[in-house]
């Protein structure tokens, strides 16, 4: 109940440096709702109620703001072999944990100001936005930067899932908090 009030009362909504409301309170609400529904399903004696509450717990999990951007990639992991989803899971968990610990340690040891890091991130996001608005900029950068690749081949199986998971963990590292 407390987390519901945290997402509907404006005074409690925390803001980012850009003034945008944070999603943490909504994330906690849906996390606790999913956990509550899961427990109710677990304790239910009626099979029909168990199934309904279990599905609702899954829906509450999917509605969490933190999971929405990663959901399409995770769901696409089911294509490419039976072991691919396990590779995504292992790669995501390991890389997320390692990158979070090491990047935090590096930032702290170098004495980089967190606000400076945030402003650099804002500049990078603005540049990426400009690249999306003006495709000529993106084409120019693509012509100058040659990234090693597999020739556009899609890796399947556990190794392909592992590479996808490692990439997702790296991308998701900023969600760990102020690093």
- Tell the residue number behind the tokens 């009030």, with chain if given: 5
Q: Against a cut of 0.85, is the pTM above it?
A: no
How does pLDDT run along the chain (179 residues), one tens digit per residue?
Answer: 656 666 566 655 565 555 555 666 666 777 778 888 888 888 889 999 999 998 898 888 767 666 666 666 666 666 667 788 888 888 888 887 788 778 778 878 888 887 787 788 788 888 888 888 888 888 888 788 776 655 555 667 888 888 888 888 777 766 555 44
Residues forming beta bridges with residue 15, ordered by sequence position: 21
């Amino acid at each position: 109940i407390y987390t519901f009030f945290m997402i509907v009362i404006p005074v409690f909504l925390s803001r980012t440096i850009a003034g945008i409301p944070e999603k943490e309170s909504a994330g906690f609400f849906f996390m606790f709702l999913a956990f509550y529904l899961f427990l109710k399903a677990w304790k239910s004696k009626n099979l029909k109620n168990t199934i309904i509450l279990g599905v609702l717990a899954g829906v509450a999990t999917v509605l969490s703001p933190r999971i929405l951007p990663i959901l399409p990639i995770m769901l696409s992991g089911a294509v490419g072999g039976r072991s691919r989803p396990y590779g995504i899971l292992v790669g995501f968990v390991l890389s997320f944990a390692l990158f979070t610990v090491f990047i935090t340690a590096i930032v702290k040891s170098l004495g980089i100001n967190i606000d400076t890091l945030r402003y650099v991130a804002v500049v990078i996001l603005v540049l990426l936005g400009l690249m999306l608005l003006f495709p000529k900029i993106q084409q120019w950068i693509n012509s100058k930067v040659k990234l090693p690749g597999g020739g556009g081949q899609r890796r399947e199986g556990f190794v392909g899932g592992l590479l996808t998971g490692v990439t997702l963990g790296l991308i998701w590292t900023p969600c760990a908090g102020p690093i």
